Amino acid sequence: MKVLVLNAGSSSQKSKLYELNDNPSEAAPKALWEAYADWTHTPDNAEITISNIHGQRQQYTVHVTSRAAIIEHILSTLWSGSTQIIARPQEIDVVGHRVVHGGPDLYESTHITPEVQATIQRLASFAPLHNPDNLEGIEAAQRVLGQTPQVAVFDTAFHHHLPPEVRWYPGPYDWYNDGIRRYGFHGISHQYCMQRSASILGRAPADVRLINCHLGNGCSLAAIKDGHSVDTTMGFTPLEGLMMGGRSGTVDPGILIYLQREKGMDADQLEKLLNKESGLKGISGVSADMRQVMKAAQEGNEQAQLARALYSYRLRYFIGAMLTSLEGVDVLTFTGGVGENDAQLRSSTCAGLKFLDLALDEQKNADSPADAEISTPQSKVRVLIVHTEEDWQIAKESSTVLKKLG
């Protein structure tokens, strides 16, 4: 079965083609073909990189007219040009899309029908920075691939089993009926890392109490027990919880009232402030990229040093919250661009957890090995680095849905 995965970012587009057998592995295989388009630094031009499993590769820049145009362009390289990997579009069996917000109604991977598309569109008010981009990908694939089945894989779905006391906000009771509740995000990554962590340790996911630390430009933790998420740091939106690249994470809501009343800020200004001008970028004054912040901190920049310290403190703070939800922990996993590569952050985080009889092998940690254990044999808590593979998880989920369709 050939599964095409489309994963939309705010100013990027990842696409991969996988071939799955009847028993797909936990670890992600090499994709048959992959494409990445990024217009973060050049809003009018997309930097495109395309490669296939045979080693053919092309890299170039094209003028951006729309996300849909970029998707249609890169999909054509599947069956034409130097990176061609299939003879015709009809060889693709199913298309899987990462969709950020499924709201209260869409809580499992779902075959995309007109009704499902309409629901994703309606939920754009919950995720205005993400769902419209996801829809563009769905519509572009429909134009290019016609009747090929498409599947929506939701970032919120893995957290559907959150207990009531975790889902509810302590506001008016009717908030919940209006859809204002804790949904959680990064669920595709958390689910993959749960399965991969258990596989590395030779255990079943249901037998592991796991805290998964997804640390990238966006950051969240998930407390996982019996194979389900029982707590997480993100909530109604991806803004809640940990300090992130440009996002503040959890702050006193009274600050927003103060900024409205005293500084005259409106909703759009507050949204931009909290989502793009806070976090590492806001505190360091340097960048939302942890690599740049670390470099500045090492060079003596005091704001950058404070940003690193605050990031680490809030990570340990929320790990503490996850510990109480699990009533202990067996495995602590680090994933995402920061989680997988920042040895110093992992070391400082684990140093604050020594009371759990957690011991890090500092040499292994310094090497940042992918899909490996970095705790000592004596550590009562196993510590892992897992390279997250959201696209592979989307491919597996899409394959499962297609099989159910018959």
What value, to the nearest 5°, has the Cα angle with vertex 11 and ends 337 and 79? Answer: 95
Helix axes 343-351, 302-326, angle to 10 degrees: 50
Tell me the chain's radius of gyration from C-alpha atoms.
21
Question: What whole-number distance in Å separates Cα of residue 348 and Cα of residue 282?
Answer: 22
Q: CA 349 → CA 88, 167, 339, 388, distances in Å?
A: 50, 27, 11, 20
Question: What whole-number distance in Å separates Cα of residue 145 and Cα of residue 224?
Answer: 37
Question: What whole-number distance in Å separates Cα of residue 192 and Cα of residue 371?
Answer: 12
Task: Tell me whether residue 268 is one of the annotated catalytic residues.
Answer: no
What value, to the nearest 5°, has the Cα angle with vertex 269 and ends 268 and 275? Answer: 85
| 362 CB neighbour count, 10 Å cutoff | 14
Question: What whole-number distance in Å separates Cα of residue 113 and Cα of residue 106?
Answer: 12
Q: Are the beta carbons of 322 and 381 closer than 8 angstroms?
A: no
Where are any strands of DSSP class E within 20-146?
A: 33-38, 45-52, 57-63, 94-99, 110-111
Question: What whole-number distance in Å separates Cα of residue 383 and Cα of residue 354?
Answer: 12
Structure tokens at 97: 């899309």
Q: CA 341 → CA 206, 289, 309, 336, 346, distances in Å?
A: 28, 13, 17, 8, 9
Polymer length in residues for the chain: 406
The type of residue at 29 is: P
Question: What whole-number distance in Å separates Cα of residue 128 and Cα of residue 132?
Answer: 7
Q: Kindly list the strands in the beta sheet with 382-385, ordered across the sheet, starting from the edge strand earlier in the chain.
A: 228-232, 219-225, 210-215, 331-335, 382-385, 372-373
**Annotated active-site residue in 155, 231, 342, 391:** 155
User: Residues with catalytic annotation?
Assistant: 155
